[in-house]
Chains A and B, each alone.
Chain A
Amino acid sequence: MDASHTASTTLNRRQFLFTAATAAGGFAIGFGALPRWAEAATVAAQPWDETATSPHEIDAWIAIDPDDSILIRYQRAEMGQGSMTAVPMMLNEELQADWSKIRIEYASANRNIRENKVYGDMFSNGSRSIKGSQKLVQQVGASARERLIAAAAQRWAVPASECGAANSVVTHKPSGRTLRYGEIASDAAKIKLDKEPAIKTPDQFTFIGKPMPRIDVPLKVDGSAKFGIDAQVPGMVFAAIIQCPVPGGKLKSVDESPLSGAPGIVGVVKMPDAVAVAATGSFWRAKQALAKLQPEWDVGPAGNTDTAQFLREYRAALDEGKAATARNQGNVDQALPGAAKTLEAVYETPYLSHSPMEPMNATVDLKPDRLDIWVGTQDALDETEKAAKAAGLEPEQVYLHNCFVGGGFGRRNVADEVVQAIAIAKAVQKPVKLIWTREEDTRHDKFRPMAVTRFKAGLGADGMPAAWSIRTVAGSVPLAAGLKLPPNGVDFVAIAALASNPYNIANTRVECVVKDTHLPVWWWRAPGANQNVYAIESFLDEIAAASGQDPYQLRRKLLAGKPDYLKVLDTVAEKSDWGKPLPKGRGRGIAICEDTGSLCAQVAEVTVGSKGEVKVDRVIAAIDSRYVVNPLTVAEQVEGAIIFGLTAALYGKIDVKNGVPVQGNFDTYRMVRLAQAPKIDVYVMPGGGKDWGGAGEPGTPPIAGAVANAIFAATGKRIRSLPIMDHDLSSGSA
């Protein structure tokens, strides 16, 4: 173990292990018990306030009632990542209020628009809810605290510098006099500071870094938490929708006569690429009525395509496509032919659906001068603007009530369901709740792109890679999202974790070829990295095998001089008993990545049965997110991200036949369930530094590579395409 590793492990105060391994059933080692629930902050089952204002506001973020109860507004989304707890924790680091008296609600996107973006951005994506809020909400909290202190000082006629704030009380230190926040809040609201106070630096944190139970948990165990799909609006009707089975196709016609005279049918609504039926009574009635229609579609040439064809085209594009160079260091063309040994492999990853448990849905109430929307969205501000456009209203006239989000993973900021619901409401002139069936949700996802990636490596006489060339062919998420690629044509998602790979190989070239099909693509948990880390970490394992090196030790050598990488890598190796022999049929695999500014290393321990059945027994993960607000939610995010990535690794694929995405429901789009879920130990080890890292995504990319490498260790079989279930791993197979 090197010196830097030893040094970092002395930072005990900031290191946490979350483990299932304790027989006592405790989930945390290294710090005391969690606060009891009575001491925790709260959120209402309906997490928004219709008025979005409060009579006792200090500012748009904070209201303090005379009885000391405090309202903090949270400007991003809560989709299970815990930021609705952690962002207010950051604010309260500065505010110094009694956490148990704090109530949290969503900030209003409408108010944000009306008040000059007082809440800033409102998106939750890219693992940025924390790092993208940190400076802003610390400043908000610090400013409010200083105004409370100034108000108290005014009342006592003493200098503010003689006063301090803690636990919702301002104290005049020389005299010991105190005033509660609730007593001075209305004065503080009138105070304008001459200059904004400096925010705390991480070494001054006393509240940030404490494990806190998530505020939304109690509402999610009694069924009271309101998701978008739970909206109930007086007079509302229910709508079901069928979209052109071939994405991008158009509606030609639909014969409505099968529904003529049917009871409870409010309308058949034709859209350019979809048909919806609205009905009174129940969603089931709308869905059953829709099933009686047989729309005719114009699917175009895409209707003749399938997965095998896409794969042929992508493989061909490795040589024929227009490659953009993302990284070119040394001279690969010279070094490769001169190598003692060369290696080449192609890795393939399929389209994937996001498949959040809550299918796409939106409820809208459209009036001539006002639109109300109930939806779970990852970006309330952006979707407000998109909805305004669709409704022909000004953004100020749109009131989007963000709900608890039943899974996002990158899917829930398109607003396609919102725009459809508005179209239906316009047609039927009633409030409407539109729900996509699971099949619509899967097949009309904006998919994780498919990719085909080729690696070529040249090894020196010492077995170490002297050169490698990486070229990937992938669909473009940035182009799908309306962004422009830079002049050099490099798609920064397609090359994620490839171009930025940390391995010290003198001659490195990374190129991408942008190639799309008719399937729309989008951000999917750890975009780019979720498939590229599988590919590069597997290929690195191939280099280790080809040169007779231990995969962990090879990585250590290639990461020399990068103590932060080595710290997480060494941790998972040590905690997984790396190197200790395992029985036949079992193996360990290791992988590491940088994603959203954080480092995550994982070791997977796998058993492969004689019939080829794969069971991932255990995963050890270490994450360095640089800073940690709530170590409990960081650990939870890594646990969940591993399962999310494991589902993709073992089972995930969307095939295409006749242009139509094949898998539609969980019988064919398989998910990891409890029986397949490994034991997971997460080591949360923030290393500090200039920038903050994310926590929601970095746990996803390493798992597929770790598992594939473990399968190789167990069986000698290399997994060069996902999902793993498509490979014959039985003992007799080649």
Chain B
Amino acid sequence: MINITVNGTQHQLDLELDTPLLWALRDVVGLTGTKYGCGIAQCGACTVHINGVAMRSCSVAIGNLEGASITTIEGLATGGRHPVQEAWIAEDVPQCGYCQSGQIMATVAFLKAHPNPTDADIDANITNICRCGTYERLRRAIHRAAESMKT
């Protein structure tokens, strides 16, 4: 039995210890905003924050997470929207939308480390795949979010 905190709520996970956090979140905790895309940490659709660090949850076994605090897209902002989410709306970023939870979670963590990101910073750090090809707007949204978080 593994104890984790997800978006401030405690959960006990009665699953095999090699179960990736992704499936624990989706199938047991019942939070489906975190998406399965590849299962090998390639696409980033499953990105969540584990103890504040952006991680690809498809490749983190719950056996390593006793006592960990997890933030998913559902817990990113309570009673409103995070500036990154606002920027995504302002730039009309998502198309199919499936990758966007991961894109947003990756961006939130990225902007903490890079409050004034250059395009090169973005290229090097935001590596999530978007099959719909929303990169044009995604890049603009990252800059917009960075601006709005400064003020």
Which positions in A face B, CB cutoff 8 Å? 20, 25, 27, 34, 37, 79-82, 213-214, 216-227, 229-230, 232, 238, 281-285, 288, 355-359, 404-409, 435, 437-438, 632, 636, 639-644, 646-647, 665-667, 671-675, 677, 679-680
Contacts and interface: CB of A to CB of B under 8 A. Distances in A.
Interface string B113-151: 000000000111011111111111111100110010000
Contact of B31 (A216, A223, A238, A644): A223
B62 to A, nearest CB: 10
A636 B127 contact: no
Nearest to A404: B97
B38 interface: yes
A355 B39 contact: no
Given A222-B85, A223-B74, A281-B15, A20 B140 contact: yes
B40 A222 contact: no
Given A222-B76, A665-B40, A677-B139, 18 more contacts: A27-B137, A80-B96, A81-B95, A221-B89, A223-B31, A281-B28, A283-B23, A283-B36, A288-B16, A357-B99, A435-B36, A438-B40, A639-B133, A666-B129, A671-B43, A671-B129, A674-B135, A674-B138
B33 interface: yes
A226 B98 CA distance: 10
Interface residues of B, number: 66
B32 A223 contact: yes
Contact of B35 (A37, A213, A229): A229
A409 to B, nearest CB: 8
Given A37-B89, A81-B95, A282 B27 contact: yes
A224 B126 CA distance: 22
Contact of A643 (B31, B43, B133): B133
Given A25-B147, A27-B91, A226-B32, A406 B127 contact: no
Contacts of B104: 221
A366 B82 CA distance: 41
A34 B91 CA distance: 10
Nearest to B30: A232
A218 B80 CA distance: 12
Contacts of B99: 357
Given A222-B85, A226-B32, A227-B98, A285 B131 contact: no
Contact of B96 (A79, A285, A679): A79
B130 to A, nearest CB: 7
13 contacts: A27-B140, A216-B97, A217-B89, A222-B76, A281-B15, A282-B19, A282-B28, A357-B35, A357-B130, A640-B95, A673-B128, A674-B127, A677-B133
Interface of B: 15-16, 18-20, 23-24, 26-28, 30-40, 42-43, 45, 72-74, 76-77, 81, 85, 88-89, 91-101, 104, 122-124, 126-140, 143-144, 147
Contacts of A406: 35, 96-98
A666 B20 CA distance: 19
Contact of A639 (B30, B122, B127, B134): B134
Prevailing SS type, chain A contact patch: loop
Given A223-B73, A232-B30, A437-B39, A407 B139 contact: no
B84 to A, nearest CB: 8
A217 B143 contact: no
Contacts of B74: 222-224
Nearest to B139: A674
Nearest to B33: A223
A409 B134 CA distance: 15
Nearest to B97: A220
A647 B16 CA distance: 37
A406 B122 CA distance: 24
Contacts of B77: 222
Nearest to A637: B95
Given A284-B20, A438-B38, A680-B136, A407 B92 contact: no
A636 B28 contact: no
A723 B91 CA distance: 32
A650 to B, nearest CB: 13
Given A221-B81, A636-B137, A407 B38 contact: no
CB-based closest 10 A-B pairs: A223-B33, A643-B133, A80-B95, A220-B97, A80-B96, A406-B98, A223-B73, A677-B135, A675-B123, A230-B32
| From A37, A405, A671, residue with most partner B Cβ within 10 Å | A671
Contacts of A673: 127-129, 135
Contacts of B39: 437-438, 665
B42 A666 contact: yes
Contacts of B132: 80, 357, 407, 640, 643-644
B1 to A, nearest CB: 13
A679 to B, nearest CB: 7
Contacts of A407: 96, 98, 131-132
Given A232-B32, A282-B15, A404-B96, A644 B133 contact: yes
